[in-house]
Chain A
Amino acid sequence: MARIIVVTSGKGGVGKTTTSASISTGLAKRGHKTVVIDFDVGLRNLDLIMNCERRVVYDFVNVIQGEASLNQALIRDKRVDTLYILPASQTREKEALTREGVEKVINELSETFDYIVCDSPAGIEHGALMALYYADEAIVVTNPEVSSVRDSDRILGILQSKSRRAEMGQDPVKENLLLTRYNPSRVEKGEMLSVADVEEILAIPLLGVIPESQIVLNASNQGLPVILEAESDAGQAYDDAVARLLGEEREHRFMSAQKKGFFSRMFKGD
């Protein structure tokens, strides 16, 4: 049985797809057979970040509607051979994601994969509800600002009331907080919420803190999951998060502004 992980947030633009790409790549790199599914029907992005947009033939909706087999739609990653991508449809309606259809695909994937990562669309509409419905575990991606925290709180409430685990009365969906775009020096100036603030408000365990970094944007534009930028702080932070997801104990890094010297040295080098 595969473990199903949803990457969600409520708010848009906080880094769900970036996180889905890095977490799934990280799991696969550690030898776990992993598939990442793009649930954002109509706003397909994951294939761009994973650099496989030119290899999309069939998509998630095609499989649900029986127009293609799962094997035809799955795209094998060129860098990590235990990683597969199931792209979203760019042309169909969101309603094409039926609960039964999604269940059928997830059950079929469960037979051969260790991890299924569901990249949720923003919002709390149908697509987001479908992405989280079958989850065993959730990574709630949050930026250190109040509106993002509020939306994360909303999604946490939905996870605990509208997921399959909640409806069946099973153990609740395991919650993980991933704080992205964290800028310690802006936190010190009081322009951003601190890790402690966000943890205090949301009251869920912290999976990781990803520092705000130009590397993330560059990597996205090049179609490279940030985690493969092993030298960068953001890449290392994602690697730590994957390790913690698998139960390893790792100290949290990149949370204070002391790295300033390191940053300035790097930019000078450029």
Chain B
Amino acid sequence: MSDTATSGVQHCFQLKSASVSMTALELYYFENDEFEDTLRDKISQAPGFFKDIPLIISLEKYEGLSSELDFFKIIGTCRRHNIHVIGVRGGNDDQRRMARGAALALLPGGSQRDRQVDTADSNATAANEPTEAEVAAPVAAAPAEPAPARIISQPVRSGQQVYAPEGDLIILAPVQAGAEVLAAGNIHVYGPLRGRALAGIHGAQSARVFCQSLEAELVSIAGHYKISEDLQDHGWKTAVQIQLRDDLLVVTPLERA
């Protein structure tokens, strides 16, 4: 009510800016059956997360022919798996025209965030990367509105899965062996982490995992993971944080202040 007080008229709606984190499907080439097989495989790895999520088709790394691209097939296949394709990112004029024809939204091309990482990670090999990327980097670094954290106060038991699709996941209890916790952002476990923890599942490389006792079966950040065997040498059974540095998971102790 108070929002519209200035104009004195109450409108049917109001437009507000919103910032939502979304999953992008980075398409390299398109072949219908293979696409569906791969999609099914990805979903089977984490059934539940993909249910009814919005999806963006990213064409920045598309190398196939434009004529092979069939958005109707992509939309149909995704629909069958309860995934909603809402738009495309990047792509050339032809591809974007086809996307518009399939009633998809067009998002500004070139994920600066990704390029920023690319250039930072491999300055030498990124010679063909346009220099604008670096110029654009500060824009991308502007912080988005934080998504709400999901807070769990019960133990996450073997066989259970807890998922924070947008922000951080905070667990005030043990995560047991055989349990799985996943978040788009950071994962905090105020208790022993004995199960699997996957942070930054939509690709946020800055995501971290914090826990009071590292006893995990697997820790993953933005798809880079370490299994229990590889975690034994650093900070096992102590309070640690785990972050991604140069595509490697680094475990550091949480020092008491």
Contact = CB atoms under 8 A, between A and B. Distances in A.
B160 A150 contact: no
Interface stretch (B51-59, B66-74, B100-108, B171-179): B171-179
Interface stretch (A53-61, A90-98, A155-163, A187-195): A155-163
A153 B178 contact: yes
B8 interface: no
A158 B158 CA distance: 9
Interface in A123-162: 124, 150-151, 153-154, 156-158, 160-161
A217 interface: no
Contacts, number: 33
Nearest to A157: B157
B159 interface: yes
Given A158-B159, A161-B160, A153 B177 contact: yes
Given A157-B157, A157-B160, A203 B178 contact: no
A205 B104 CA distance: 55
A203 B155 contact: yes
The size bracket of the interface on A is: 10 to 19
B158 to A, nearest CB: 4
A158 B179 CA distance: 12
Nearest to B154: A160
A160 B176 contact: no
Contacts of A203: 155, 173-174
Contacts of B154: 160
B174 A150 contact: no
A49 B176 CA distance: 34
Nearest to B157: A157
A154 B158 contact: yes
Given A157-B157, A157-B159, A160-B157, A150 B173 contact: no
A150 B178 contact: yes
A148 to B, nearest CB: 12
| Interface residue range, chain B | 10 to 19
A177 B149 CA distance: 32
For the residues of A in contact with B, the DSSP-based class is helix
B174 A157 contact: no
Interface string B176-210: 11110000000000000010000000000000000
B153 to A, nearest CB: 12
Contacts of B156: 157
Nearest to A160: B154
Nearest to A124: B159
A105 interface: no
A62 B194 CA distance: 44
A150 B177 contact: yes
Interface in B113-163: 154-160
B155 A154 contact: no
Give the one of B156, B158, B173, B174 with max A CB within 10 A.
B158
B176 A201 contact: yes
B173 A153 contact: no
Contacts of B176: 153, 157, 201
Contacts of B194: 201
A98 to B, nearest CB: 24
A223 to B, nearest CB: 35
Max chain B Cβ within 10 angstroms of own Cβ: one of A124, A153, A156, A161: A153
Interface string A102-135: 0000000000000000000000100000000000
B218 to A, nearest CB: 16
Nearest to A161: B160
19 contacts: A150-B158, A150-B177, A153-B158, A153-B176, A153-B177, A153-B178, A154-B157, A154-B158, A154-B178, A156-B155, A156-B157, A157-B160, A158-B159, A160-B157, A161-B160, A201-B176, A201-B194, A203-B155, A203-B174
User: What 9 A-B pairs have minimum CB-CB distances, sorted nearest first?
Assistant: A157-B157, A154-B158, A153-B158, A157-B160, A154-B159, A153-B176, A153-B157, A156-B157, A157-B159
Interface of B: 154-160, 173-174, 176-179, 194
Interface of A: 124, 150-151, 153-154, 156-158, 160-161, 201, 203
Given A150-B177, A153-B158, A157-B156, 13 more contacts: A124-B159, A150-B178, A153-B157, A153-B177, A153-B178, A156-B157, A157-B157, A157-B176, A158-B159, A160-B157, A161-B160, A201-B176, A203-B173
